[in-house]
Chain A
Amino acid sequence: MRVPRNRPSLNLLRRDRWPIYTAIIAAGLIPVAVAVSDRPVAAAQAAQSQPSTLINQWVERRWSAKQVSPAPGVDDRAFARRVYLDLAGRIPTPSEVDSFVADPGDDRRPKLVDRLLASPEYAQRMRDVFDVVFIGRKPEGQRRRRAPNPEGLRGEWLAYLERSFAENRPWDRMLQDMLLSRPETPAEKGAVWFLFSRQDKYQDIAEAVSPSVFGVQIQCAQCHDHPLAEEIKQSHYWGLVAFFNRGKNRMTKQGPRVAESAIGGFANFANLSGESQPAQLVFLGAPKIDETRPPDGAKEQDSPDLYEPRSEGAPSDEPPVPKFSRRARFVEQVVNGNRLVARAAVNRFWALLMGRGLVHPVDKMDSQHPASHPELLDDLARDFEASGFDVKRLVRAIVLSRPYQLDSHPVAGAQPELFANGLEKPLTAEVLHRSLLVAATGKVDAANPELRAELIEAFPDVFPEENLSSLPQTMFMTNSPLIQQLVRPGGGNTAERLAAIADPAQRVREAFRIAYHREPAPDELKETIAYLTARKDRPQQATTQLWWALLAGAEFRFNH
C-alpha cells in the first residue's frame, strides 16, 4: 500500500516487463500510429510520452484477450472537437478546426494538445471540474447563507484552483494545501476553503475527503462496517473524522483560517449492536497513528506548551500550530506516499477524459469494484508518483493515447470498459454554457452568468455513473427564454449570420460546420432543406428553428 516517495518506479525499468516493451516498440507502435490518423502521427510523439505507451499496451492486451477489434482512429475534425471540449472546456470554432486540419505536420495532434494545456482555458476547465469534486454542487442561495463573505472566499478558492492547474502544481501539493490549510503564501490561501466551507462539520469534512482524495465513499460506514467492501470499516469513518475534529474556523486579518486545538476531539462511536469504542487516528490501509488518550471523563488542560513557538514576525491573530497536529499527521502519514491517492487521481482524470473510470464509478474504488485494467491503473499511478504528481503529463498521456483517439461509433461485442471505441461524455453544465455561446455568438470568450447558473441547476453531474437525461433538462432546452435568446437572430450573432445566407443548402452546411464541425449527411441535408423551404415565407424563424434543432440535439449534448 505504501511506497517510499520518489522511488524511480518507471515500469520500463521492470525487468519482467522488458519483453512486452520490446515487442511493443518493435511491432506495436507504428501500426498504432497509422490507425489513429489518416496521416501518420510521428513515432517520436509516442516516445516522448511514455505513459501513452503504457496505456496502449494494456488496453490493446485486453482487446486481444477479448478478441475485440477496436474502432478506427478518429478523424482530425472529430479529434479537434473532442480535445477542445475536454481540455479547453468548449467546442472549437470552425476556423480553429480548419487551421488544425490544415497543419501538414505529423505532430499536429501533440502540438494542439500542448497548446491547449498551456492555455488559460485548460486551467478554467479543470477549476470547474475540481470545484465540484472538492466542494460539490450547492445551491447558490445555500452558499450565501452558510458562510460569511462567501463570494470573496469562494472567489479565492476558484482562483487557487485555476492558478494551480495553470502552473501545474503537483497534485500531492494541492492536496496538502487543502488538507493542512495552513497557507504560507498568499497564493495558497484559497485552498483553505476546502475545510473552511464545511463550517466545522467534521463528518462533512470526512465525507468530502474520502471520495475526493481516496476515491472511496464512506458514508455508509458511519453506522457499521461497509456491508460489501470489507476493507472499509466503521473505525475508518470515525478515524477520518478524528483527524479533523480539532479544527475551528476563524477569520483573521490574513483571511480565513482553520485553527487546530492540541487537545480534545476524543470521541467514541457505537456500532449497531450498541457496542461503543474509541475513535482512533486510522484510515483505510494506513497504519494507526498513536496518540495518548486521556482516561474517559478526565479533563485536559490546554497550554501554550502544546503548541509550536510562534515564528518571528507572524501576525498576532495567526492561529498557533499544535506540536502534535492531527491534520499534519494525516497529510504526512496517511496521504503522502499512499498509493490509493495516486490511483484515485489517475482514475479520476481517466474518467474525465475517457468517459468512464478504470474503476467505475470513480468514487467507489473499493474491493467490490475491481479495475477494468488493474495493471494499467497500477502503472499509471506509479508513473504519476514518479513524475512528481505531474497532472499535465498525465492528461497529455491520456489524450495522446490510442484509445482516446478512437472513433466513437460502437464496435461489435465491445463493452464500454474495454475502451475499444470513444465513449460519449455528456458536456458538463460549464462546458455546455461555453459551447452554446461559442456556437451562438462565434466568440470564444462570451459569457452569460444567468445561463450558466441555470445550466448548473439543470445539469449538475460531472462524473455521472450513467448517462441519463432528465425531463427538466429537456424542458429547459426546449422552453427556456435563455436558450430561445441564443437561437434568435440579433446583434450580429450566428443565427443572424445564418439567416443572411440565401441558399438553404449553404445555410445548412454552415450551421452544421459551426455546431458539429462536419458536413451534413445527404439525408440530413435533404430533411433540413425541406424544412427551410417549407418556411420560405418566414426565413428568420425557419433559421432559428433549424439552429435550435442542432444545438438541442444529441450530437451537441455529448462529447463523442
Chain B
Amino acid sequence: MTDVKRQDCGSVDHRVHRRQFLEGMVAGGLSVASFSGLFSIPAFAEQARKEQKHCILLWLCGAPSQFETWDPKPGTPTGGPFRSIPTKLPGVQVSELMPRTATILDKLSVIRSMKTAQNEHFQAIDLLTRGDAPRPPFIRPTLGSVLGQQLAQLDSPIPSFVLLDPCPEGNEFKAFKAGNWAGWLGAEYGPVRVGGEYRIENIARAEDLSEADHEQREALRRFLSRKYENDRKSAAAASLNAAYERVKGLMSCAHLFDLEKIPQKDRERYGPGTFAQHTVLARHLVENGAPFVMVANGMPWDCHVLNHEIHQMLVPELDQVIYQLITDLEERGLLDKTLVLIMGEFGRTPTLNDARGRDHYPNAWSMAMAGCGIRKGVVYGATDTNGVDVKENPVDQRRLFATVFSALGLDPYQQYDLPGLPSFFRVEGNAEPVREVLA
C-alpha cells in the first residue's frame, strides 16, 4: 500500500486508476466498496496506523536570528548582548535565551551551516517552503502539500495539511498565503487554515438536516457537479469538487481542533501565547493522525528594529514550546514517527543596523530538527568566528529538502510524472541529503 502511494504524484491519471480500482472491486463482488473500506479490516488498519508518519513544521516566519538561538557568538563584535550556555551535548552551546532546549539538545539535530541565496521574504518563503526556486509557469507544491499527500492515510478524515496561523496578516507572508500552496498537485492538497479564535467557521450541520440527508444531499450535488466537471474536463470544477470532498472529513473531526478539549495543564505547560497554543494543538492533531501540521504566527521574527529586545521576548517562548513538544512526542511514543522542523526563511545579519536591528541574511544561518529519521544530538556545519560565513558543510534548500524526504522514508528524487509538465523531481539536481543528521 505504501509503495502504491509513493508512486502517486497526484496526477489525474492516478485518480483514474483509483476509480478503476474501486469499480473493479465493486464489479468483482468484493464486500469492500471503497478504499477506506479496507480499513475496516482490523489488521490492515492497525498496520497502516503503525506506519503512519507525521511532520510538524514550526515556521518561524520573518526569520529569527541564529546568534540569539542556535549559533551564539558571545564576546565577538557580532554576538550581541546575550551569553551562551552549555547544553546536554558536551562542548555545544546555545543562546542563554534557550535554557530548556539546552537540556534536550541531545534529542535534536542542529544545522548551523544553512546557506541560501534569497534575501527577500516572499521569495525566500517560497524557496524554503517549496524547496526550489520558481520555474514559471509551473508551481511546485509546498512541503506540506507533498508530505500531506504522501503521508496521509486514505481513511483519515483529518485534513492532510493543516496550517495553524492566528491571523491573515503578516506582510509578505500574507501575500504568500494568498498564493497557490498545492501547485501542480491540485487544490485538494492545499492547507486547511485554522487559527486565531481556534474556530472553524460553518462547521456545524444545519439543525433541520439529518446526518443521512446531509450526506445524501452532498452525494446528489457531487453527482451533478461531477457530470459538469467531466463534460467540460473542468479543472475549476475539479477544484470545487475536491473542496467539497473535504467538508465531510473536516466536520467529522472538528472536535480535534477544539483547544478546550486539550487538558488545561497541558496547555499551560506550553505557555499562553498563540504560537504555544497552536503548537500544543499541532501535537494533539498529530496524535490523532494528522500527517502534516504547520504552525505559523504571522511574521513576528523580522527584527529590523531592536533585534535583541524582540528576541528576548520571542525566543523564551520558542524555547518552552520546543522543549514541551519534543518531550510530549517522546512520552507518547510519537517522536520516532514525527519529524519536527524548526526554521524560518533565512537568518539575520551579523552586524546591527542603525535601528539596532538585524537585517535579512541568507548567507549563514541555522535550523533545527528532531524525530522521525533524524539522528539525535548532531550539530552539523559551522560558521566562522563572527558568524559571517559558513566555515564548513554548507546546506542549501535542496539538501535540506532531500534530508527531510529521506528522514521520512520518501525517495527524494522521485520524478513527478504529470501530463503536460516538463521533468520535475521532488528534489532537483540530485542534491545530497545531509547523511550526518539522518538516523
Given contacts A469-B187, A524-B224, A555-B225, A478 and B122 within 8 Å (CB-CB)? no
Give the Cβ gap from B113 to chain A, nearest Cβ, in Å: 23
Segment at the interface with A among B72-80, B90-98, B197-205: B197-205
Segment at the interface with B among A12-20, A303-311, A322-330, A540-548: A540-548
Give the Cβ gap from B331 to chain A, nearest Cβ, in Å: 32
**Residues of chain B within 8 A of A476, CB atoms compared:** 201-202
Of A220, A223, A471, which is within 8 A of B250 by CB?
A471
> Contact at A474–B220, with CB atoms within 8 Å?
no
Interface residues of B in 186-203 (CB under 8 A from A): 187, 190, 192-193, 200-203
Nearest to A222 among chain B residues (CB) is B120
> Contact at B220–A409, with CB atoms within 8 Å?
no
**Residues of chain A within 8 A of B208, CB atoms compared:** 484, 488, 541
> Contact at B216–A531, with CB atoms within 8 Å?
yes
Assess whether B15 is interfacial by the CB under 8 Å rule: no
Assess whether B235 is interfacial by the CB under 8 Å rule: yes
Interface residues of B in 126-146 (CB under 8 A from A): 136
Over the window 262-282 of chain A, the binary record of Cβ atoms lying under 8 Å from chain B Cβ atoms (1 yes, 0 no) is: 000000000010000000000
Assess whether A254 is interfacial by the CB under 8 Å rule: no
Segment at the interface with A among B38-46, B236-244, B279-287, B315-323: B236-244
**Residues of chain B within 8 A of A408, CB atoms compared:** 232
**Residues of chain B within 8 A of A488, CB atoms compared:** 208
**Residues of chain B within 8 A of A465, CB atoms compared:** 180
Assess whether A255 is interfacial by the CB under 8 Å rule: no
> Contact at B217–A553, with CB atoms within 8 Å?
no
Given contacts A468-B180, A469-B187, A475-B200, A424 and B213 within 8 Å (CB-CB)? no
Assess whether B227 is interfacial by the CB under 8 Å rule: yes
Assess whether A558 is interfacial by the CB under 8 Å rule: yes
Assess whether A450 is interfacial by the CB under 8 Å rule: no
Of A220, A426, A474, A527, which is within 8 A of B244 by CB?
A474
Over the window 228-266 of chain B, the binary record of Cβ atoms lying under 8 Å from chain A Cβ atoms (1 yes, 0 no) is: 110111111101111110110011000000000000000
Give the Cβ gap from A450 to chain B, nearest Cβ, in Å: 14
Of A426, A471, A479, which is within 8 A of B246 by CB?
A471
Given contacts A409-B231, A471-B246, A555 and B201 within 8 Å (CB-CB)? no
Assess whether B218 is interfacial by the CB under 8 Å rule: yes
**A224-B202 Cα distance, complex, nearest whole Å:** 43
> Contact at B236–A467, with CB atoms within 8 Å?
yes
**A558-B236 Cα distance, complex, nearest whole Å:** 9
Assess whether A560 is interfacial by the CB under 8 Å rule: yes
Assess whether A481 is interfacial by the CB under 8 Å rule: yes
> Contact at B224–A549, with CB atoms within 8 Å?
yes
Assess whether B21 is interfacial by the CB under 8 Å rule: no
Of B119, B136, B205, B216, which is within 8 A of A479 by CB?
B205
Of A220, A528, A557, which is within 8 A of B220 by CB?
A528
Given contacts A475-B201, A476-B201, A523-B227, A470 and B122 within 8 Å (CB-CB)? no
**A162-B260 Cα distance, complex, nearest whole Å:** 48
Give the Cβ gap from A478 to chain B, nearest Cβ, in Å: 5
Q: How many residues of B contact A (CB 8 A)?
A: 49
Give the Cβ gap from B81 to chain A, nearest Cβ, in Å: 25
Assess whether B223 is interfacial by the CB under 8 Å rule: yes
Given contacts A470-B243, A471-B243, A475-B203, A527 and B232 within 8 Å (CB-CB)? no
Q: Is chain B's binding surface mostly helix, strand, loop or mixed?
A: helix
> Contact at A478–B180, with CB atoms within 8 Å?
no
**Residues of chain A within 8 A of B202, CB atoms compared:** 472, 475-476, 478-480
Assess whether A298 is interfacial by the CB under 8 Å rule: no
Assess whether B221 is interfacial by the CB under 8 Å rule: yes
Nearest to A422 among chain B residues (CB) is B232
**Residues of chain A within 8 A of B224, CB atoms compared:** 524, 527, 549-550, 553-555
Q: How many residues of A contact B (CB 8 A)?
A: 49
Give the Cβ gap from A140 to chain B, nearest Cβ, in Å: 14
Of A424, A469, A475, A550, which is within 8 A of B232 by CB?
A424
Assess whether A184 is interfacial by the CB under 8 Å rule: no
> Contact at A468–B203, with CB atoms within 8 Å?
no
Over the window 502-541 of chain A, the binary record of Cβ atoms lying under 8 Å from chain B Cβ atoms (1 yes, 0 no) is: 0000000000000000000101100110010001000001
Assess whether B421 is interfacial by the CB under 8 Å rule: no
> Contact at A426–B236, with CB atoms within 8 Å?
yes
Assess whether B206 is interfacial by the CB under 8 Å rule: yes
Give the Cβ gap from A466 to chain B, nearest Cβ, in Å: 6
Given contacts A523-B227, A545-B213, A554 and B240 within 8 Å (CB-CB)? yes
**A472-B334 Cα distance, complex, nearest whole Å:** 30
**A523-B246 Cα distance, complex, nearest whole Å:** 26
> Contact at B231–A549, with CB atoms within 8 Å?
no
Nearest to B168 among chain A residues (CB) is A139
Given contacts A272-B119, A474-B246, A541-B213, A484 and B228 within 8 Å (CB-CB)? no
> Contact at B225–A474, with CB atoms within 8 Å?
no
Assess whether A68 is interfacial by the CB under 8 Å rule: no
> Contact at A471–B218, with CB atoms within 8 Å?
no
Assess whether A473 is interfacial by the CB under 8 Å rule: yes
**Residues of chain A within 8 A of B220, CB atoms compared:** 527-528, 531, 545-546, 549
> Contact at A481–B225, with CB atoms within 8 Å?
no
Interface centre among A480, A521, A546, A553 (most CB of B within 10 A): A553
**A541-B206 Cα distance, complex, nearest whole Å:** 12
Over the window 33-50 of chain A, the binary record of Cβ atoms lying under 8 Å from chain B Cβ atoms (1 yes, 0 no) is: 000000000000000000
> Contact at B234–A424, with CB atoms within 8 Å?
yes
Give the Cβ gap from B123 to chain A, nearest Cβ, in Å: 8
**A545-B206 Cα distance, complex, nearest whole Å:** 12
Give the Cβ gap from B348 to chain A, nearest Cβ, in Å: 15
> Contact at A553–B243, with CB atoms within 8 Å?
no
**Residues of chain B within 8 A of A29, CB atoms compared:** none
**A466-B120 Cα distance, complex, nearest whole Å:** 24
Given contacts A409-B232, A545-B213, A471 and B221 within 8 Å (CB-CB)? no
**Residues of chain B within 8 A of A484, CB atoms compared:** 206, 208-209
**A409-B231 Cα distance, complex, nearest whole Å:** 7
> Contact at A554–B228, with CB atoms within 8 Å?
yes
**Residues of chain A within 8 A of B204, CB atoms compared:** 479
**A527-B222 Cα distance, complex, nearest whole Å:** 12
Of B159, B175, B244, which is within 8 A of A478 by CB?
B244
Give the Cβ gap from A361 to chain B, nearest Cβ, in Å: 10
**Residues of chain B within 8 A of A409, CB atoms compared:** 231-232
Given contacts A549-B220, A550-B224, A552-B221, A475 and B237 within 8 Å (CB-CB)? no
> Contact at B236–A220, with CB atoms within 8 Å?
no
**Residues of chain B within 8 A of A480, CB atoms compared:** 202
Nearest to A477 among chain B residues (CB) is B244
> Contact at A223–B120, with CB atoms within 8 Å?
yes
Interface centre among B120, B204, B213, B243 (most CB of A within 10 A): B243
**A120-B300 Cα distance, complex, nearest whole Å:** 47
Of B122, B225, B232, which is within 8 A of A553 by CB?
B225
**Residues of chain A within 8 A of B223, CB atoms compared:** 527
> Contact at B180–A466, with CB atoms within 8 Å?
yes
Give the Cβ gap from B304 to chain A, nearest Cβ, in Å: 12
Assess whether A315 is interfacial by the CB under 8 Å rule: no
Assess whether A105 is interfacial by the CB under 8 Å rule: no
Known A474-B240, A479-B247; 6 more pairs at CB < 8 Å: A424-B237, A467-B235, A469-B239, A475-B201, A479-B251, A554-B240
User: What are 21 pairs between A and B in contact, CB < 8 Å?
Assistant: A220-B120, A220-B122, A272-B119, A466-B180, A467-B239, A468-B239, A472-B202, A475-B247, A476-B202, A479-B204, A484-B206, A484-B209, A527-B220, A527-B224, A549-B218, A549-B224, A552-B244, A554-B236, A554-B240, A555-B224, A558-B234
Rank and list the top 4 A-B pairs by shortest CB-CB distance, nearest first: A467-B236, A554-B237, A549-B221, A545-B217
Q: Which residues of A contact B (CB under 8 A)?
A: 219-220, 223-224, 272, 368, 408-410, 424, 426, 465-476, 478-481, 484, 488, 521, 523-524, 527-528, 531, 535, 541, 545-546, 548-550, 552-555, 557-558, 560
